[in-house]
Structure 1
Amino acid sequence: MSVQENKKTRKTTCPDCGGKIVADPKHGERSCVDCGMVVSEGSIDHGPEWRSYSFAEDQERSRTGPPRDRTGSDTMLSTSISWRDVDARGNLIEARKRRRMHRLRRMQSQSSDSTEQYQKQATAEIERMGAALGLPTDVRETATDIFRLSQTNGVLRGRSVEALTSASLHIAASNVGLPRSLGEIELVSRIDRNSIARAKRAINTKLGLAVEPGAPEEYVERFGSELDVDHRTVFTANRIIESASDEYIGSGANPVAIAAGAIYTADRMTGGNCVTQQEVSDATDVCIMTIRKHKSELLSHYEC
C-alpha cells in the first residue's frame, strides 16, 4: 500500500478499531461510529455566525466580506492613479500604456465630484485626529455621520473641511461621554480654536443637536492622570465638585476650568504632588487667573 493510501486510510478509519469516522459539524468533532473514539476536535465552522428560520430571512442576512465601515473607507473609490508613468518596479512604461493611463486619470477625475472628495478628505482627517486623541471607533463613525449630515444641509458652504471635521469630532466625543476640550482638539487639528467653535455653533444651529458641554467630573480623571496626582487628589476633587451648587456648575462656566480649579484645590488640601498652577494650566489649557477664580469659588461652596 502506498503512502497516499495510508494517509487516506488514517483519515477515514478509526486508529483504534478500524471503524468508520464521521464528522459532527455541530460539535466540531470527528469520531468513530463503532467505538465512539473522538479522533479530532475543534474544527473550524465555516458557516455564518447567525441563524435563520426562513428562506427570506436567510437571503436578508447573507453577506460576503467584513461588515461595512461607516467611516466610508470601504464605501467610496479609494484607488488613486499616480501621475508618474512608471510601473511597480520604477521602470518607464511604454507609450501605448502611457496613453491608456492618461485616459484613466481623466476618467477618474471626471467621475469623482466635489462631495465625494470632501468626504474622503474628512474621513482621513477624522481618523487621524481620533487616533491622536485616543477616541474609539464608534466616536469616529459618529463624527463622520455628523460631517455628512452637515454637508448635506449646507453647513460646509463657506467653511473649511478641517473646521467642520474638528467640530464634528468634538460633538461626537461629547455625545458618547468621552468629551475632549477645544484645546485638545486644536492640538491635533490644522485649524485654530475659534474656527472650530464657530463651526460647532453652525452645526448646532443648523442640525439642532442637543450637545451637552460635559460635566467637570468627566475631565478630572484624565487631567489627574496627566498631572500624575494620586487617587486621593482625584477623589477629593470630585467631592469638591459635587459639593458645589447646581447654579454654579450650570452657570455656563467652562467645565474644563472647573475641573482644573478642583484638581489644584484638592492637591493643596491633600498635600499630594504639590502641582503648581502653571502645571495645571499647561495640562488643561486654562489660564492661571481662571484657575484661581474657580479655586476660590469651589472652596466657598466646599466649606459650606
Structure 2
Amino acid sequence: MSANSNDNDGDRVSIGEYEESGKCIECDAEKLTHDYERAELICENCGIVIDEEFIDDGPEWRAFDSEQRENRSRVGSPMTNMTHDKGLSTQISIKNRDGQGNPISSNKKAQFYRLRKWHRQARISDAKERNLALALGELNRMSSCLNIPRNIQEDSSKIYRQAAEADLIKGRSIEGVVAASLYIACRKNGVARTLDEIAEAARITRKELGRTYRFIAQELELKLPLSLPQEYLPRFCSKLDLSQQTQIKAREIIQKASERGLTSGRSPTGIAAAAIYISSVVCGEKRPQKEIADQTNTTEVTVRNRYQEIKKELDIEINV
C-alpha cells in the first residue's frame, strides 16, 4: 500500500503532514526506513509505504578511500559556519604544485604567494568580516587546545554570529565572547568543560568568562542545562588512569548522592572529584586527594569536604 498511490487531496495533505512531523501518517511511529532499491520510504511499525520514487541526491560514483573520494568529487567543500564566508568563496591551495602534481618554478611560487595574499585581502570586505574571521580563527585555536568535537565548534560559531548580529560584542574582547560561545555550546551539548579550562585556553580570567557567558545567554534567551557531575567522570578517570570499574562505582555514588539531594547547589566538578576519590579507595586504586584535585581543577579542601559529606550521608565505610 502506498500513501501517495492516489492523487486525491487527502493523500497530498498526509504526505505534507509527514514532512512536517517526520512520523508515520498512519500510526505516528518514528521508525521510518529508506529502501533504496525500490526508492520507497517505509514505516517499520505498520509497513505502510509513505513515499515512493524519491530522488537519490547522492553522487553517482563510489569511493573506497579518501584519495578516490577527492579525485572523483566534482564539487567543493560543504557549507560550514567555521569560516566567515561559510566556505562559499574559492581558495588558492598552499601546495606549490601544478595540476599534474609537479613542483612549480621559483618565479611561479613568488607569483602565487602574491595571489594568495591579494585573495585573502579580497575575501574580507569590511571590518565586520575581519572581526568574524579573527574570532573564528581564535575559536579554532581554542577548540584544538581543548579537543572540542567539530559539531560543538559549529554550534559555537553560530552562537558567536548571533551575538555579533545582536550587537553584543561592543566593549568586550573577541577572546572573551568566543570563549563564552564555546562554553555555552559545550553546556548545550553535554560536553564537560569547566570555566577554568576554557578561560585558560582563551587566556582570559575566569571572572571575565563567567560574566560574558551569563550576559550572552541572557540576551540571546538561551536556556542552558545544568552541568552534571557524571559528565566529567570519563575524562577525569582517564586523566587519573583509573579502571572502568572505578568509573562505574563513582557513577553509582553520584547517583545515590543526587537522590539524597547532596549535589544541588554544589560544584559538579567537586562532587565528581569526591566520588572518584571514594571509588578509587573502594576499588583498590587509591589516588591522593591532591592528585585528584589537580586533575579535576578543584582544591583539596573541596574534595575533602564533599568526600566527608557523601561518606556521612551514604554511610560508606572507607579504610583510608
Q: TM-score, normalised by structure 2?
A: 0.64
Cα distance change on mapping 1:66 and 1:132 into 2, 3 Å: same
Cα distance change on mapping 1:229 and 1:48 into 2, 3 Å: same
Contact 1:164–1:199 under 8 Å retained in 2? yes
* 1:49 equivalent in structure 2: 58
* 1:192 equivalent in structure 2: 205
* 2:175 equivalent in structure 1: 162
Q: Which has more radius of gyration?
A: 1
Cα distance change on mapping 1:232 and 1:110 into 2, 3 Å: closer
Q: Partners in 1 of 2:307 and 2:177 — Cα distance?
A: 34
Contact 1:213–1:255 under 8 Å retained in 2? no
Contact 1:122–1:162 under 8 Å retained in 2? yes
Written as runs of structure 1 = structure 2, the 5 A alignment for 1:266-277 is 266-272=279-285, 274-277=286-289
Q: CA deviation at 1:269?
A: 2.2
Q: Secondary structure at the match of 2:153?
A: helix
Query: Is 1:303 the counterpart of 2:315 in the alignment?
Result: yes
* 1:148 equivalent in structure 2: 161
Q: Partners in 1 of 2:273 and 2:300 — Cα distance?
A: 10
Q: CA deviation at 1:90?
A: 8.2
Task: Choose from 258, 262, 266 the match for 1:248.
Answer: 262
RMSD of the TM alignment (CA)? 3.4
How many percent identity over aligned positions? Answer: 29
Q: Partners in 2 of 1:150 and 1:76 — Cα distance?
A: 24
Q: CA deviation at 1:113?
A: 2.0
Cα distance change on mapping 1:195 and 1:209 into 2, 3 Å: same
Cα distance change on mapping 1:48 and 1:245 into 2, 3 Å: closer
Q: CA deviation at 1:290?
A: 0.7
Contact 2:253–2:275 under 8 Å retained in 1? yes
* 2:139 equivalent in structure 1: 126
* 2:303 equivalent in structure 1: 291
Q: Partners in 1 of 2:124 and 2:233 — Cα distance?
A: 49
Q: Which stretches in structure 1 are left out of the alignment for 5+ residues?
A: 1-26, 28-46, 52-62, 80-87, 95-100
Cα distance change on mapping 1:279 and 1:168 into 2, 3 Å: same
* 2:78 equivalent in structure 1: 67
Cα distance change on mapping 1:213 and 1:89 into 2, 3 Å: farther
Task: Choose from 218, 237, 252 the match for 1:239.
Answer: 252
* 2:125 equivalent in structure 1: 112
* 1:13 equivalent in structure 2: none
Q: Partners in 2 of 1:205 and 1:78 — Cα distance?
A: 38
Q: CA deviation at 1:301?
A: 2.8
Contact 2:240–2:295 under 8 Å retained in 1? yes
* CA deviations over 1:10-68 (Å, ceiling 9, x no partner): xxxxxxxxxxxxxxxxx9xxxxxxxxxxxxxxxxxxx95179xxxxxxxxxxx942311
Q: Partners in 1 of 2:90 and 2:177 — Cα distance?
A: 22
Moved beyond 4 Å, runs of 4+? 75-79, 88-91, 107-111
Written as runs of structure 1 = structure 2, the 5 A alignment for 1:168-187 is 168-187=181-200
Q: CA deviation at 1:149?
A: 0.4
* CA deviations over 1:118-155 (Å, ceiling 9, x no partner): 11111111111112222211100000000010111122
Q: Partners in 2 of 1:126 and 1:110 — Cα distance?
A: 19
Q: Which stretches in structure 2 are left out of the alignment for 5+ residues?
A: 1-36, 38-55, 61-73, 93-104
Contact 1:170–1:179 under 8 Å retained in 2? no
* 1:55 equivalent in structure 2: none
Q: CA deviation at 1:271?
A: 2.0
Q: Partners in 2 of 1:78 and 1:158 — Cα distance?
A: 33
Contact 2:77–2:87 under 8 Å retained in 1? no
Q: Secondary structure at the match of 1:66?
A: coil
Cα distance change on mapping 1:110 and 1:219 into 2, 3 Å: closer
Residue identity opposite 2:78 in structure 1: P
